[in-house]
Amino acid sequence: MRKALLVLTVSIVAAQSGKYGVGRAPAPEEIKRLDLTVLPDGTGLPAGGGSAAEGKLVYERRCQRCHGAEAKGGDEVAMVGGQGTLPTPKPLKTVGSYWPHATTLFDYVRRAMPFKEPGILTADQVYAVTAYILQLNGIIKDGERMDAKSLPAVRMPNRDGFIPDSRPDTGPKAKR
Ligand code: HEC
């Protein structure tokens, strides 16, 4: 298996170097389509925006069949509820109770949802459905619009529930 991987890597590098006349450098547009990462502080968020009212329509059309009415869970996980359950013997980890950053919700939905058709939503639709899920959790108020400025400013209930691991062999400074 290792050998196969090595051969594959070598051939990709060789292909890109033009030696065999196959492959080409990706166009900036192609890179842009894949360069989707949004960091916790909001770096990488695109232009656009949306409200929970708009997001409700997106949710009902694109998400409800799997995640259930009002994101309370269906065939797939709930995205609402569980706040206050984390220190109990039956913690319910949802976006609302567990996730530390609202920006991760945008990143995840844009990258991976709807499950079988990721990438079909516009930036406005992703902002809107993000707003809807936050509003269902009582984290933002009705009518609050989510965009590149307001979303990183949302404080998630479990924001301080993650403890940085200070051991020297972990974290960004660790030698790898
Ligand atoms: C076809 C079914 C399906 C549809 C439609 C769908 N999802 Fe999902 N969703 C999933 C599955 C399956 C997972 C778990 C994926 C995994 O763990 O890799 C998931 C996970 C998630 C999670 C992570 C939840 C957590 O706590 O880990 C979020 C957030 C989410 N979906 C949002 C959405 C949104 C928003 C939409 C609509 C735009 C949507 N999903 C549409 C199937 C679906």
pLDDT digits (tens, 9 = 90+) for 154-171: 999 999 999 888 888 876
Residue 132's pLDDT band, with cuts at 50, 70 and 90, is very high
Give the per-residue pLDDT at 174.
Answer: 63
Closest CA to 46 of 111, 116, 105, 127: 127
Give the per-residue pLDDT at 53.
Answer: 97
CB 71 within 8 A of CB 80: yes
137 lines ligand 1 (CB under 6 A): no
Average pLDDT over residues 4-26: 67
- Sign of CA pseudo-dihedral 41, 45, 48, 52: negative
Q: How far is CA 165 from the centre of its chain?
A: 23
66 lines ligand 1 (CB under 6 A): yes
Report the separation in Å between the CA atom of 117 and the middle of ligand 1, taken as the mean of its atom positions.
Answer: 11
Residue 19's pLDDT band, with cuts at 50, 70 and 90, is confident
144 lines ligand 1 (CB under 6 A): no
Atom of ligand 1 lying closest to residue 58 CA:
38
Residue 14's pLDDT band, with cuts at 50, 70 and 90, is low
**pLDDT tens-digit readout, 33-68:** 788 999 999 999 999 999 999 999 999 999 999 999
Look up residue 149 and give its two tokens. Answer: 């400025």
Give the per-residue pLDDT at 15.
Answer: 52
Write the single-letter amino acid at 32. Answer: K
**pLDDT tens-digit readout, 61-109:** 999 999 999 999 999 999 999 999 999 999 999 999 999 999 999 999 9
Cα–Cα distance for residue pair 162/91, rounded to 1 Å: 15
109 lines ligand 1 (CB under 6 A): yes
